[in-house]
Amino acid sequence: MANILTARNVTKTFGGLVAVNDFTLDIAENSISSVIGPNGAGKTTFFNCVTGFYKVDEGEIIFNSEQIQNRRTDVVTRKGISRTYQNIRLFSNMSAIENILVGQHPRLKTFWAEAVWKSKRFRNEELTALEEARRLLRFVGLQGMGDTLARNLPYGAQRRLEIARALASLPKLLLLDEPTAGMNPNETGEMTRFIQHLRDELGITILLIEHDMRVVMGISEQVTVLDYGSKIAEGSPKEIQSNPRVIEAYLGRGAASGLKAGKR
């Protein structure tokens, strides 16, 4: 299988702090991969580099055999990468369905002023977009909640809405930043199945940051471990679980519960 995303020797520093250090990563198309590591290991920073929110200092990021490092965020999204956030960032004063409609933005092509005289093209596009948004809403199990303001949705629903919004741009690669943070075991199980379902159903490549090791080990085909911004291990969940350096990285910090230790 071809690689959909390749990061080569990516380095990102903030002042004197090296947040991501000479990091190299290959993500195979249609796979589910995870990036794990202790807090502050540079996982989210790496996501921010991929999505163009941060400019990388060195190295290159190749998506679909095209360099995307240091491109503007909106350009990267248009190329087919979308993401969710560690601490949910919905458009909280917009309704759920509007959130999804915003997510569809890269696919809408009509000229903005056509809305004024409602050209046929505009009407058709809006109708299709709305239809698609309703479909996505059903897909994430939020049918009937579309007109609720995003901030009024329950926590789990917000997480799923954020994923629906990310899916709306029809991404080829989906970056999930701690999709199960703050969830109870039931919800976590549901989310895990949902992520798997996403890949199987929609054929989207998924890269996630996750602290819950059951999720990581359960669904990932490839796990990458970051510590202090550098990659310390990579491989299948099995290999990672027995890798001494990984255990040291976690246990060495006094996280007595070992690999199960999450952020919570």
Partner 1 sequence: MKINWKTTLRYGLIGGVSALYFSMIGMVELFAGRNLIGTTVNMGHLLLYGGMLAAGLLAARAHHQGKLAQHAVIGLVAGLSAAIPTALLVILHEFIPMQDVFVSVNNALIRFLTFERGLPGLLQFFLASGLLGLLGGLFDGIPTDYRRAVGTGLAGVAIVAVFSDLVTQVLTNLFGRASVNIFFVSKALKPVIALVLLLAIAAFVFMRDRRKANAPAAVAAAPLDKRAALRKQVILFVIIGALLAIAPWILGSFLSQVLFEVGRFVLLGLGLNIVVGYAGLLDLGYVAFFAFGAYTMGLLTTTTNLNLGGGVFNFWLALPIAVLVSVLFGVLLGFPVLSLRGDYLAIVTLGFGEIIRILALSDWLKPIMGGAQGVLFIPTPEIFGIVFDSPESMYYLVLAAALVAAFVSIRLRDSRLGRQWMAMREDEDVAEAMGINTVQTKLLAFAIGAGFSGLGGAIFAARLGNIFPHSFNLLISINALSLIIVGGLGSIPGVIVGAIALVGLPELLREFQEYRLLIYGILLIVMMLNRPEGFLPAEVFKRELHAGEITEPAEVE
Partner 2 sequence: MLRRTLSRVSWVDVFLRIFQLVAAVVILIGLYKTFTTARYSSEQWATLAFAGLAQGSIYALIALGYTLVYGILLMINFAHGEIYMTGAFSTVFLAMYFNRIGFLQSSPVLAIIVLILFSAAVSTSIAVLLERIAYRPLRNAPRLIPLITAIGASFALQYTFRGLFGSQFRAYPDIAVLKGTWNILGFDVPLVQPVVFLAAVLLMVALYWFVERTKTGKAMRAVSEDKAVARLMGIDIDRIIVSTFALGGALAGAAGVFNGLFRPQGVFFLMGFFPGIKAFTAAVLGGIGNIPGAMMGGLLLGLIEALGPNLILEGLGIPAANQLKDAIAFLVLVLILIFRPQGIFGERLAEKKA
102 binds partner 1, rule: CB under 8 A: yes
11 near partner 2, judged by CB under 8 A: no
Residues of this chain, 17-76, that bind partner 1 according to CB under 8 A: 51, 53, 72-74
Site for partner 2 in 28-87 (CB under 8 A): 55, 70-72
Among 25, 101, 181, 206, binds partner 1 (CB under 8 A): 101
Q: Provide the β-strand partners of residue 208.
A: 34, 176
Q: How far is the CB of 28 from partner 1 (least distance, A)?
A: 24
Q: How far is CA 223 from the centre of its chain?
A: 15
Site string for partner 1, 149-178 (x = CB under 8 A): x---------------x---x---------
Cβ-count burial of 260 within 10 angstroms (0-12 exposed, 13-18 middle, 19+ buried)?
Answer: exposed
From partner 1, partner 2, none, interface partner of 71 (C-beta below 5 to 8 A by class): partner 2
Q: Which is nearer to partner 2, 71 or 83 (CB)?
A: 71
Contact between 202 and partner 1 (CB under 8 A)? no
Cα–Cα nearest to 163, from 200, 191, 132, 126? 191
Task: Indicate which single residue of 26, 29, 60, 126 sits in contact with partner 1 (rule: CB under 8 A).
Answer: 126
Choose from partner 2, partner 1, none: what does 97 bind? Cβ within 5-8 Å by kind.
Answer: partner 1
Q: Which of 46, 54, 63, 122 binds partner 1 (CB under 8 A)?
A: 122
Minimum CB separation of residue 70 from partner 2 in Å reads 6
Q: Could you tell which of partner 1, partner 2, none binds residue 200, using a CB distance below 5 to 8 A set by kind?
A: none
Q: Give whichever of 44 and 169 is closer to partner 1, judged by the CB atom.
A: 169
Query: Which residue of 14, 67, 115, 201 would you call a contact of partner 1, by CB under 8 A?
Result: 115
Which tokens belong to 235?
A: 């491989």
Among positions 147, 186, 244, 264, the unique one binding partner 1 when judged by CB under 8 A: 147
- 3-state secondary structure labels for all residues of the chain: CCEEEEEEEEEEEECCEEEEEEEEEEEECCCEEEEECCCCCCHHHHHHHHCCCCCCCEEEEEECCEECCCCCHHHHHHHCEEECCCCCCCCCCCEHHHHHHHHCHHHCCCCCCHHHHCCHHHHHHHHHHHHHHHHHHHHCCCCCCCCCEHHHCCHHHHHHHHHHHHHCCCCCEEEEECCCCCCCHHHHHHHHHHHHHHHHHHCCEEEEECCCHHHHHHHCCEEEEEECCEEEEEECHHHHHCCHHHHHHHHCCCCCCHHHCCCC
| Site residues for partner 1 per CB under 8 A | 51, 53, 72-74, 77-78, 82-83, 85, 89, 91-98, 101-103, 105-106, 108, 110, 112, 115-116, 118, 122-123, 126-127, 130, 133-134, 137, 143-147, 149, 165, 169
